Amino acid sequence: MAGVMIERPAPTVGEALRRMREQGATYQGVWSWLTTIDHKRIGLMYGATAMFFFLVGGIEALIIRLQLARPGLTLVDPDQYNRLFTMHGTTMVFLVVMPLSAAFFNLVIPLMIGARDVAFPRLNAFSYWTFLFGGMFMSASFFTGNPAGSFFEGNLGAPDGGWFGYAPLTLNQFSPGTGIDYWAFGLLILGVASMAGGFNFIVTIINMRAPGMTLFRMPVFVWMTLVTSFLIIFAMPIITVALFQLLFDRLFGANFFNVNAGGTPLLWQNMFWLFGHPEVYILILPAMGIVSEVLPTFSRKPLFGYPFVVFSGIAIAFMSWGVWAHHMYTTGLGSVANSAFGVSTLLIGVPTGVKVFNWLATLWGGSISFKTPLLFAVGFIGMFTIGGLTGVMHSMVPSDYQQQDTYFVVAHFHQVLVGGALFGLFGGIYYWFPKFSGKLMNERLGQLHFWAMFIGFNLTFQPMMILGFLGMIRRTSTYEAGLGFGLWNMMSTVGAFVIAFSVAVFLVNVVVSMRSKEKAGADPWDGRTLEWAIPSPPPVYNFAEIPQVKELDDHWAKKYVQNEAGETVPAMVGGANGHDEEEDEDEGGHNIHLPSPSIIPLIASAGMPFLAAGFIYWDNPWMLPLIPVGAVITLVGVYGWALEPATE
C-alpha cells in the first residue's frame, strides 16, 4: 500500500529529509529560502515577487501609453494591444497589489498581535509558492499561448479578453489559442493561494493574539487584514465557479455561455462582478489599514475615532456585496435594478467618507513629521478622495451611461488603485522597511520618489478624465485624429514615464539603503504598535517573551505617561529612543521551539501548474500525461504534509 511506503521511508530518504530540514533551519543559503516557513521571510518573498511583477505590468503600461500617445500609431497591432492591456490589468490586480498586501500581512500581522508566527506556517509557505507558480504559469502564456507563431516574431500568446474576461468574447470561437485558458487556470491557482492566505490570517488574528490583545486593542491594520481576509474567502469561490464554467466551455464544449444553446453572457458578468466588487475592497482596505498606522505615528497622536474607522471598514466590506451591478448599468438590467444598485453604491460612499474625515482629524492637533511614509499616506488621502468622488459620479446611473467604458472610468479606478492602494503600499514599504532590514530608507531619495510619483500620477490620470468626457472609449488600441484626444493622451504618456522614473528612484533607494551602514534601531519612528518593541530586524522567534497587552497602542503607552499637569511625557529618561536595549539581548530566544522548515509546501503547490497544463492540452496525447504527473505531485505534497511532523 502506498500509505505504508510513505510512512516507512527507507532510512536514507528519512535521513536526507532530516538533513534538509536542518539545513533549512540554519537560515543560510537558497535551500533555507525554499523551505522557510518563517512569516517574515515569506513576506519578503511576497514583496520581492510582487515588485518583479510590478515592473512587468509597468512595462506593459508604458507600451500601452506609447501606443496611445498620438492618434493612429502602430507601435503594436490591435491583437498585441489587447493582450498587453489584458495582462496589465490582470497582473496589477492579482500579481502586484494583492500579493503586496499579502507581503504586509505576513511581515507585520504576527508582530502586531504579539505572536511568534501565523497559525499555519506551512500553509503560509504554500500560499506563497502557489502564488508564485500561478503568476509564472499565467505569464508563460506570453510565450506559449499563441499557436500562430513565436513570441519573438511578435506573436504574443497572452490572454486577449481583458481582465474582466467577458463571455462570449472569451470562448474558443472568438478567442482561439490558449491565452484565455492560461488566464483562467492562472487565476484559479492564484485563487487557491489567496484563499489559503485568507484562512490563515483569519485564524491567526482570531486565535493567536497575545494575552490582553482584545479585538478592540488590535491595530487598525490588523482589523483591515481580518476584513480583507473574509472578503477573500467569500469572493474567491464565486470567481472560481465562473472560471470553471468558462474552462468547461472552452475545453470540453459545455454550454454555460453558449447563446445558441440558451445560455446567457450576463451570467458571467454577474458572477465576475459579484466577485469583482469585493475584490476592489480587497485591494484598497489593506492600504487603508497602512494609512491608519502611518498617520498616528507621524503625527504622534492616536488614530482619531478608532472604533469608527474599524466599523466603517467592516461596513464597506458588507456593502461591497450589494453593489456589483453598478458595473453592469448599461447591460439592460431595467430601471428597478439600476435604481437599487445606484442607491446602494451612493451609500457605500458614507463609510468611505467617515474614514477620510477621521484621518484628517488624526492629523489635526498633531506634531506632523514629513517623512516619506507620511507623504505617501497624505497623498493617499488626497488621491483617494478624488477616486471616491468620481466613484459617486459613476454611481449615478443616467450620467454613467455616458461614462461607462470611457477613459473617465480608467481615470477613476486608477485614482483608487494607484493614488490609493499603491500609494498606501509604498508608504507601508517606507514605514516598515527599517523593521525588516534594520536600515532606514534614504529620506532624500524617498522624497524624490514621492514627488515624482505624485506629479507623474496626476499628469497621467487626470487628463484621462477629460478624455472620458470627450468620448474616448477604453480598451481601444488607437483613435482617430480630430476627436480632440491627442493632447491629453500625450500628457498622460509623459506622466506615465514620470511614474516610471519615480519607480526607478525607489529601486535605487532600496539598493542604496540596504548598503547603508547606519542602523535603524528598534523603534526609529517612535511607533505605537508592538512591532516596534522588538529589535530590527526581528529575531526568528519575534518576541523573546510574549508581551502582555494592556491597551490600544500598547507600545506607545509603555513609552509615555501623563504627568500631573495632564501632559504626555516620556516615561523614562530617553523615552522615545531609549528602548533599544533589547537590540543586543538575544538571550531569551534560544529555548523557543519553532516549527521546522519544510519543502512540502513547495511540492504541494508545484502539482497545480502541471495539472493546469495537462488540462489545457488534454487533446494532445503527449501532454495529457501531465495530468497524472500533477496529480501525483499534489498527492505526494498532501500526504507528505499530513505525515510530516510540524516540529522536530
Hey, which residues between 376 and 435 contact another protein (CB under 8 A)?
378, 381-382, 385-386, 389-390, 392-393, 395-406
Of 18-26, 54-62, 237-245, 512-520, the segment contacting another protein by CB under 8 A is 237-245
Q: Closer to another protein at the Cβ: 24 or 342?
A: 342
What is the closest distance, in whole angstroms, from the C-beta atom of residue 1 to another protein in the complex?
7
Min dist. Cβ of residue 50 to another protein (A): 24
**Residue 405: how many CB atoms within 10 A of its CB?**
15
CA–CA separation, 554 and 575 (whole Å): 14
Tell me whether residue 117 or residue 181 sits nearer to another protein (CB atom): 117
Of the candidates 427, 443, 437, the residue with the CA atom closest to the CA atom of residue 383? 427
What does DSSP say about strands 568-570 and 560-562: parallel, antiparallel, or unpaired?
antiparallel
Q: Which of residues 433-492 bind another protein (CB under 8 A)?
A: 447, 451, 454-455, 458, 462, 465-466, 469-479, 482-485
Find the binding residues for another protein in span 589-608 (CB under 8 A): 592-595
Which residues are paired to 570 by β-bridges? 560
For another protein, the binding residues in 192-211 under the rule CB under 8 A are: 195, 198-200, 202-203, 206-209
Contact assessment for residue 71 and residue 479, using Cβ atoms and an 8 Å cutoff: yes
Distance CA 188, CA 589 (A): 40
Q: Which residues contact 398 (CB under 8 A, 6 or more apart)?
A: none
Cell digits of residue 406? 470611457
The H or E element spanning position 113 is: none
Contact stretch for another protein (CB under 8 A) within 139-147, 415-423, 588-596, 616-624: 588-596
How many Cα neighbours within 13 Å face the side chain of 312?
23
Please count the residues of this chain forming the interface with another protein, following the rule CB under 8 A: 156
Least CB distance to another protein at residue 11 (A) = 19
Q: What one-character DSSP code corresponds to residue 8?
A: S
| Nearest to another protein of 138, 397 (CB atom) | 397
Nearer to another protein, 4 or 573 (CB): 4
Q: With contact defined as beta carbons under 8 Å apart, do 67 and 76 qualify?
A: yes
For the bound state, the minimum distance from the C-beta of residue 359 to another protein, rounded and expressed in Å, comes to 9
Nearer to another protein, 29 or 147 (CB): 147
Query: What one-character DSSP code corresponds to residue 529?
Result: S
The β-bridge partners of 562 are 568
The interface with another protein within residues 538-557 (CB under 8 A) comprises 541, 546
What's the closest the beta carbon of residue 173 comes to another protein, in angstroms?
A: 8
Interaction residues for another protein, span 142-161 (CB under 8 A): 160
d(CA 64, CA 25): 45
Integer Cα distance of 128 and 29 in angstroms: 19
Identify the three-state secondary structure at position 473.
strand
Nearer to another protein, 28 or 369 (CB): 369
Residue with cell 490563515: 200
Q: Which of residues 278-307 bind another protein (CB under 8 A)?
A: 299-302, 304-307
Does 228 bind another protein (CB under 8 A)? Our answer is no
Degrees to nearest 5, angle at CA 570 with 567 and 572: 135
Tell me the window of 18-26, 55-63, 146-154, 255-263 that interacts with another protein (CB under 8 A): 255-263
Return the number of the residue (16 or 350) whose C-beta is nearest another protein. Answer: 350
Residue 117 or residue 523: which is nearer to another protein going by CB? 117
Q: Which is nearer to another protein, 300 or 519 (CB)?
A: 300
Tell me how far apart the alpha carbons of residues 133 and 193 are, in angstroms, rounded to a whole number: 10
Among 92, 226, 236, 530, binds another protein (CB under 8 A): 236
CB of 264 to another protein, least distance (A): 6
CB of 214: closest distance to another protein in angstroms? 9
Query: Which residue among 142, 221, 256, 423 contacts another protein (CB under 8 A)?
Result: 256
Instruction: State the binding string over 36-75 for another protein (x if CB under 8 A, else -).
Output: ----------------------------------------
Q: Pick between residue 66 and residue 470 the one whose CB is nearest to another protein.
A: 470
Residue pair 204/115 in contact (Cβ under 8 Å)? The answer is yes
Nearer to another protein, 137 or 485 (CB): 485
> Is residue 264 part of the contact set for another protein (CB under 8 A)?
yes
Angle (nearest 5°) at CA 160 between 157 and 161: 150
**Between 29 and 212, CB nearer to another protein:** 212
- Smallest gap from Cβ 515 to another protein, in A, equals 27
Candidates 20, 55, 353, 571; binder of another protein (CB under 8 A) is: 353
* CA 336, chain centre distance (Å): 35
Instruction: Give residues 488-527 in contact with another protein (rule: CB under 8 A).
Output: none
What residues pair up with 561 in beta bridges, in sequence order? 569
User: What is the nearest approach in angstroms of another protein to the Cβ of residue 94?
Assistant: 18
Figure out which of the listed residues 25, 75, 346, 623 binds another protein, where binding follows CB under 8 A. 346
| Grid cell digits, residue 17 | 529529509
Handedness of CA 162, 177, 167, 618 (dihedral sign): negative
Rounded to the nearest whole angstrom, what is the least distance from the CB of residue 303 to another protein in the complex? 8
Among 78, 588, 625, 628, binds another protein (CB under 8 A): 78
Residue with cell 497602542: 553
CB of 601 to another protein, least distance (A): 13
Member of 151, 234, 501, 618 binding another protein (CB under 8 A)? 234
Cell numbers standing for residue 287: 492600504
- Residue 523: what are its φ and ψ, rounded to 5°? -140, 65
Phi, psi angles (nearest 5°) of residue 569: -135, 155
Q: 146 exposed, middle or buried (CB, 10 Å; 0-12, 13-18, 19+)?
A: buried
Residue with cell 538575544: 586
Q: Count the neighbouring beta carbons within 10 Å of the beta carbon of residue 148.
A: 12
Instruction: List the one residue from 11, 332, 584, 590 that touches another protein (CB under 8 A).
Output: 332
Intra-chain end-to-end CA distance of the chain, in Å: 26
**Residue nearer to another protein on the CB measure, 421 or 465:** 465
The residues with which 569 forms a beta bridge, in sequence order, are 561
- The residue among 473 and 606 lying less far from another protein, judged by its C-beta, is 473
Query: For another protein, which residue of 26, 28, 330, 620 counts as binding (CB under 8 A)?
Result: 330
Of these, 88, 116, 277, 414, which contacts another protein (CB under 8 A)?
A: 116
Output 136 or 353, the one with its CB closest to another protein. Answer: 353
Q: Which is nearer to another protein, 29 or 484 (CB)?
A: 484
Euclidean distance between CA atoms 187 and 180, whole angstroms: 10
**Among 334, 564, 573, 619, contact with another protein (rule: CB under 8 A):** 334
Please count the CA atoms within 13 angstroms of the CA of 248 that sit on its side-chain side: 11
- DSSP codes, 122-160: HHHHHHHHHHHHHHHHHHHHHHHS-TTS-GGGT---S--
Q: Does 347 bind another protein (CB under 8 A)?
A: yes
